[in-house]
């Protein structure tokens, strides 16, 4: 991979990445809690896989990190988000304008919705560049960015309208736009969910490659654990507005200490159990239910006890850097390697 | 709104009303819809009931000419000593009835024509309707209506309609459906692509069933919302005909006709013109509240 | 149901199917053939733009092919009109769970409508039958009379499955039935499809880009590239020992193989999809030739036909050598 260092890496005045610490973050939308006690850390230059299903609050967590909470009428009710020495929750909109895009970049979830449908791609790229740096030569930089994300035929891409690009190409374009200001933290909110498997793999590899070349930290949000397997050093699993487990990726993927993580790993079809019934999780994922005493996952959990239904389990240390919010963490069976996601391909 | 709100209801009961469900949801939710609807009902109620019980007849000379507004004659009297209040309310019957009839017929016809055209798998059928509508819309609306009114003439009469009204009705109906057809066709064309229509085709449902039971329920909220806005336009157009010498002929009271008669005395007896004008504006306001709320309801 | 004649008539049999969308010159599906026997489970695999959804829609009779024919129990779709009983034989499940349900109808109404139309049930009887069927596919009682917008993706998908089952089909064509669902719900739906196949003896055509899902749920598989079926055979055989170079690229694609560069092996059709005019022109020869590592001069002459190779059939003049494929299979084992 080293022979493919993108040209933009050289000569960019990128700051070194700092550590991101989210502690006890609680957020309410329209008076209703949607995030509760969200905790995770991201070491400088590493990649965190933020995994969760519908209602888990992944996108809300991304918004907190990228300063987009106030825009949508959401209030922070507790906790802190610190990036290096900066308290991200205390930044004014004016300060955010200097942070967003320059130190923290966002690849949004819906690439088609994030681009103006009646404006050619090239103009949108140049407008972004002008906003970031009015003096720089935009055409050269635009071509350089497209080359960085391996978009072929840059001239043709810049002259196209968004709907003329394939989903994968649009996603690469969104990554290029997020990188335009040379951020040192990149937040990718479900960048692969709408894409084909093979294209997903391409995007994951692209993000890994860009990270290696630029040294930026990355948060990769997804609903599918198997997607972040190859890229994330750390994984945080969210369920119904809280982080239920976090730790080093190999540990989470092989020896999870939360029944939800274990169930997510087991739910994917694998070569070993071909044709057999899959270990589905009963019920469906849902947003945070603030009125519920106890563990949010208890209603779907095979290990749930009376204690689980009465008391909220704390995010407790299970091993080095490995934390799980489960009263029965010790009883969670290890995921044997055959259950590992991706083995079915 | 509870998720369980609909659980207990027997599935069959609300089936007919489902087509208007978007409309019903908007009515339940939006304050604008309730305020607009309430105001409209108040105005219509007054127009229908007050002239029945009011001591003065609409065309009787009941007091001195140009009497200013008073308790007995809230809108004063006109140049012939007729009570402007009762004439305005009685006139409102015609304006509102004509607008309602024109809009109801145009909306129904246009929605069905447009939905059928938009749902059709035959390209030529869809395109024919589209071109026809384009041809109609290409002419300025008011000018075309005026030409039609003049062509039909003020003496044409069907049934008990007041003199001049028949021409107006015909003119409105010839043009009115086109806007609805265009809206309905566009909406039907997007709905036709949806998976649930493909599913209905795969289930072998006949074309008519698919159009009327599956596509139309998605089209109706859009055209209904436009219909309310269209009612304002229709009433405005109807009132303006009096100023051009066509439309409802005197002495039948009609908002435009009353205002037209009062125009000569605007400096001395402003109430003859201003009072019906205010009521017209108020009705328009109520309708626009309603249209606004319905459009928002149709969106979700 | 009448006794089946021997040999078994396929539920659906397509041959030489070519479909071109209006306004395009390049066909979306080229000369495709597929045969679905009663009870079979067949996967159609490909990337966006490979024509797999178009082929699926043609199989259920929602699209008429420009060329070739599709027979449903020996009868062409064009003759299955109005209440022809064969119409009930093939039904479809869609990718977007919410979009496949009429927004103004509750699951009970949607399913009851099928019973009333096909079985002539009274309103009350149809409502009861719908409730029973929806319960059978695992839709909770509280969801029966809710609008689709208030249901979760999994609930909508169950309602869609019940609608398809209501007319008593023998073949379900499922177009990416789980790709829009949460991982924990995907497994529920796959299990449900499995149960229905066993209980009702249903045949299944599963269209998907997810090889793990296809491997799990199907016995045979078709691999499509740019409208062509490039390989067809038993699922494990094709996925473990792909013979077509595209199949191999597909099977071996996974993160960490350096596919970050668009247009390399595994990035597939993605970068070729710029929908400008010059991409709509036809070049002769194998569709995969421009990106094939084993391309030779003869590949550019004509689209190679499917040729038998072991238990499967491959449309490639220079297929992957068996030993190399084995190596690929070993690596896929992890």
Mean pLDDT throughout C170-181? 94
pLDDT band for position A14 (cuts 50, 70, 90): low
pLDDT band for position C261 (cuts 50, 70, 90): low
A210 in Cβ contact with A175 (< 8 Å): yes
pLDDT at A314: 92
Residue B11: which of C83, C92, C109 has the nearest Cβ?
C109
pLDDT band for position B8 (cuts 50, 70, 90): very low
For C111-162, what is each residue's pLDDT tens digit?
999 999 999 999 999 999 999 999 999 998 999 999 999 999 999 999 999 9
Interface of B with C in 212-231 (CB under 8 A): 213-214, 217-218
Cα within 13 Å of Cα(A219), Cβ side: 31
What is residue B212's DSSP assignment?
A: I
Cβ contact (<8 Å) for A269 and C155? no
For C286-318, what is each residue's pLDDT tens digit?
888 888 888 888 888 888 999 998 889 999 999
| Separation CA B149–CA C125 (nearest Å) | 55
Using an 8 Å CB-CB cutoff, list chain B residues near C58: none
| Separation CA B280–CA B96 (nearest Å) | 10
For A101-140, what is each residue's pLDDT tens digit?
889 999 988 888 888 888 999 899 988 888 888 877 788 8
Residues above pLDDT 90, as percent of chain B = 28
pLDDT at B22: 55
Using an 8 Å CB-CB cutoff, list chain A residues near C184: 53, 263-264, 267, 280-281, 284-285, 300
pLDDT band for position B24 (cuts 50, 70, 90): low
Cβ contact (<8 Å) for A198 and C259? yes
CA distances from C259 to A149, C26, C250 (A): 12, 27, 11
Mean pLDDT throughout A281-305? 89
pLDDT at A7: 42
| Partner chains of B (3+ C-beta pairs under 8 Å) | C
pLDDT at C168: 94
Token pair, residue A192, equals: 């692969």
More confident residue, B1 or B193: B193
B164 in Cβ contact with B154 (< 8 Å): yes
For the ranges A51-55, A127-131, A325-329, C330-334, the maximum mean pLDDT occurs at A325-329
pLDDT above 50 for C57? yes
pLDDT above 60 for C189? yes
Using an 8 Å CB-CB cutoff, list chain C residues near B300: 149
| Separation CA B253–CA B136 (nearest Å) | 31
pLDDT at A131: 85
pLDDT at A342: 42
Residue C260: which of A157, A202, A224 has the nearest Cβ?
A202
Cβ contact (<8 Å) for C62 and B206? no
Interface of C with B in 127-156 (CB under 8 A): 127, 141-142, 144-147, 149-150
Residue recorded with tokens 């045949």: C203
- For residue A160, the distance in angstroms to the closest alpha carbon of chain C comes to 8
pLDDT at B23: 57
**Searching chain A, which residue's CA lies closest to the CA of residue C217?**
A275
Cα within 13 Å of Cα(A158), Cβ side: 20
For B155-210, what is each residue's pLDDT tens digit?
666 666 677 778 788 888 888 899 999 999 999 999 999 999 999 999 999 999 99
A254 in Cβ contact with A322 (< 8 Å): no
pLDDT at C293: 85
What would the 3-class secondary structure string for A248-288 be?
EHHHHHHCCCCHHHHHHHHHCCCCCCCCCCCCCCCCCCCCC
pLDDT band for position B121 (cuts 50, 70, 90): confident
pLDDT at A112: 81
pLDDT above 80 for B109? yes
Which of C23, C98, C100, C102 to mutate against chain B (most B CBs within 10 Å)? C102
| Separation CA B66–CA B80 (nearest Å) | 8
For B28-85, what is each residue's pLDDT tens digit?
567 888 888 899 999 999 998 888 888 877 777 878 888 888 888 888 888 888 888 9
Give the residue among A207, A219, A15, A191 at the shortest CA–CA distance from A103: A15
Mean pLDDT throughout A272-286? 83
pLDDT at C90: 96
| Separation CA A151–CA C261 (nearest Å) | 8
pLDDT at C255: 73
| Separation CA B265–CA B169 (nearest Å) | 30
pLDDT at A5: 39
pLDDT above 90 for C47? no
Decide if C197 touches A, using CB distance below 8 A: no
Cβ contact (<8 Å) for C256 and A205? yes
Q: What value of ipTM does the predicted structure carry? A: 0.87
For C208-245, what is each residue's pLDDT tens digit?
998 999 999 999 999 999 899 999 999 999 999 999 99
Give the residue among A56, A205, B132, A173 at the shortest CA–CA distance from C271: A173
pLDDT band for position A99 (cuts 50, 70, 90): confident
pLDDT at B154: 67
pLDDT at B19: 47
Q: Are strands A322-324 and A242-248 parallel, antiparallel or unpaired?
A: antiparallel
**Searching chain B, which residue's CA lies closest to the CA of residue C127?**
B11
Using an 8 Å CB-CB cutoff, list chain C residues near B4: 142
Altogether, the residues listed in chain A come to a count of 345
- For residue C78, the distance in angstroms to the closest alpha carbon of chain A comes to 33
pLDDT above 90 for A38? yes
User: Within chain A, what is the greatest distance between any pair of CA atoms?
Assistant: 64
Residues above pLDDT 70, as percent of chain A = 92
| Separation CA C250–CA C259 (nearest Å) | 11
Residue recorded with tokens 């719908």: C130
């Amino acid at each position: 991979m080293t022979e493919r260092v993108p040209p933009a890496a050289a000569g960019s005045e990128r700051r070194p990445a700092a550590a991101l610490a989210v502690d006890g973050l609680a957020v309410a939308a329209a008076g209703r809690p949607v995030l509760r006690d969200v905790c995770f850390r991201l070491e400088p230059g590493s990649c965190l896989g933020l995994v969760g299903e519908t209602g888990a609050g992944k996108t809300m967590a991304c918004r907190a990190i990228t300063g987009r909470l106030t825009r949508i009428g959401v209030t922070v009710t507790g906790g802190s988000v610190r990036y290096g020495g900066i308290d991200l929750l205390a930044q004014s909109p004016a300060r955010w304008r200097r942070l967003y895009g320059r130190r923290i970049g966002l690849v949004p979830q819906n690439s088609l919705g994030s681009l103006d449908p009646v404006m050619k791609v090239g103009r949108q790229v140049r407008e972004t560049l002008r906003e970031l740096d009015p003096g720089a030569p935009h055409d050269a930089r635009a071509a350089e960015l497209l080359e960085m994300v391996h978009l072929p035929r840059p001239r043709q891409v810049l002259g196209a309208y968004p709907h003329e690009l394939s989903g994968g190409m649009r996603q690469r374009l969104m990554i290029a736009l997020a990188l335009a200001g040379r951020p040192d933290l990149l937040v990718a909110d479900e960048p692969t969910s709408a894409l084909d498997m093979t294209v997903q793999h391409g995007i994951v590899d692209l993000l890994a490659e860009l990270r290696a070349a630029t040294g930026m930290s990355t948060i990769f949000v997804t609903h599918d654990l198997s997607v972040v397997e190859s890229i994330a050093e750390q994984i945080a699993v969210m369920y119904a507005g809280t982080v239920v487990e976090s730790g080093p990726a190999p540990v989470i993927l092989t020896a999870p200490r939360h029944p939800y993580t274990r169930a997510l790993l087991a739910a994917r079809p694998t070569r070993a159990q071909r044709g057999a019934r899959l270990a589905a999780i009963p019920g469906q994922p849902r947003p945070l239910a603030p009125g519920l005493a106890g563990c949010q996952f208890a209603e779907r959990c095979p290990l749930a006890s009376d204690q689980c239904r009465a008391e909220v389990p704390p995010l407790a240390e299970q091993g080095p850097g490995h934390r799980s919010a489960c009263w029965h963490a010790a009883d969670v069976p290890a995921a044997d390697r055959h259950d590992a996601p991706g083995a079915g391909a | 709104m509870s998720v369980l709100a609909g659980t207990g209801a027997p599935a069959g009961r609300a089936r007919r009303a489902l087509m208007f469900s978007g409309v019903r949801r908007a009515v339940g939710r939006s304050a604008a819809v309730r305020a607009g609807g309430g105001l409209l009902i108040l105005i219509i109620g007054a127009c229908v009931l007050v002239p029945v019980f009011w001591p003065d007849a609409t065309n009787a000379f009941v007091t001195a000419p140009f009497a200013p507004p008073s308790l007995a004659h809230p809108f004063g009297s006109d140049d012939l000593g007729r009570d402007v209040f009762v004439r305005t309310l009685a006139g409102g019957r015609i304006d509102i009835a004509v607008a309602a009839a024109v809009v109801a017929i145009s909306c129904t016809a246009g929605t069905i024509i447009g939905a059928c055209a938009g749902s059709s798998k035959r390209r030529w059928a869809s395109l024919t309707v589209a071109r026809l509508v384009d041809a109609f819309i290409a002419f300025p609306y008011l000018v075309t209506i005026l030409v039609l009114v003049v062509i039909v003439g003020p003496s044409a009469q069907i049934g008990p309609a007041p003199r001049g009204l028949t021409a107006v009705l015909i003119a409105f109906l010839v043009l009115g459906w086109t806007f609805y057809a265009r809206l309905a066709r566009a909406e039907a064309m997007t709905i036709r692509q949806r998976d649930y229509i493909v599913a209905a085709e795969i289930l072998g449902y006949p074309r008519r069933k698919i159009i009327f039971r599956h596509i139309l329920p998605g089209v109706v909220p859009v055209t209904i919302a436009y219909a309310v806005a269209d009612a304002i336009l229709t009433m405005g157009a109807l009132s303006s005909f009096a100023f051009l010498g066509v439309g409802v002929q005197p002495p039948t009271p009609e908002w435009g006709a009353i205002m037209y008669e009062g125009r000569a005395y605007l400096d001395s007896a402003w109430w003859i013109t201003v009072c019906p004008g205010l009521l017209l504006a108020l009705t328009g306001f109520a309708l626009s509240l309603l249209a606004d709320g319905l459009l928002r309801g149709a969106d979700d | 149901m009448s006794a089946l004649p021997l040999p078994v008539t396929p539920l659906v049999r397509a041959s030489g199917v070519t479909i071109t969308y209006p306004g395009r010159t390049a066909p979306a599906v080229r000369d495709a053939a597929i045969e679905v026997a009663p009870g079979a489970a067949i996967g159609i695999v490909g990337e966006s733009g490979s024509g797999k959804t178009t082929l699926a829609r043609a199989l259920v009779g929602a699209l008429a092919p420009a060329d070739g024919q599709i027979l449903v129990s020996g009868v062409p779709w064009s003759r299955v009109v109005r209440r022809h009983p064969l119409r009930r034989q093939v039904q479809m499940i869609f990718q977007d769970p919410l979009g496949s349900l009429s927004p103004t109808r509750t699951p009970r109404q949607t399913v009851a409508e099928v019973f009333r139309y096909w079985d002539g049930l009274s309103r009350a009887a149809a409502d009861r039958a719908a409730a029973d069927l929806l319960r059978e596919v695992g839709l909770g009682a509280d969801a029966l009379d809710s609008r689709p917008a208030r249901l979760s993706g999994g609930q909508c998908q169950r309602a869609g499955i019940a609608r398809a089952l209501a007319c008593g089909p023998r073949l379900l064509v499922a177009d990416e039935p789980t790709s829009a669902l949460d991982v924990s719900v995907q497994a529920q739906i796959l299990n449900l499809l499995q149960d229905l196949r066993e209980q009702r003896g249903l045949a299944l055509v599963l269209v998907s880009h997810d090889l793990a899902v296809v491997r799990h749920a199907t016995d045979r598989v078709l691999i499509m590239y740019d409208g062509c079926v490039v390989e067809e055979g038993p699922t494990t055989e094709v996925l473990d020992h792909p013979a077509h170079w595209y199949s191999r690229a597909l099977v071996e694609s996974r993160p960490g193989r350096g596919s970050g560069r668009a247009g390399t092996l595994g990035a597939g059709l993605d970068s070729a999809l710029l929908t400008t005019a010059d991409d709509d022109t036809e070049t002769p020869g194998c569709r995969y030739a421009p990106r094939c590592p084993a391309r030779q001069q003869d590949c550019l002459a004509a689209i190679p036909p499917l040729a038998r190779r072991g238990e499967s059939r491959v449309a490639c003049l220079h297929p992957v050598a068996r030993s190399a494929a084995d190596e690929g299979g070993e690596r896929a084992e992890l």
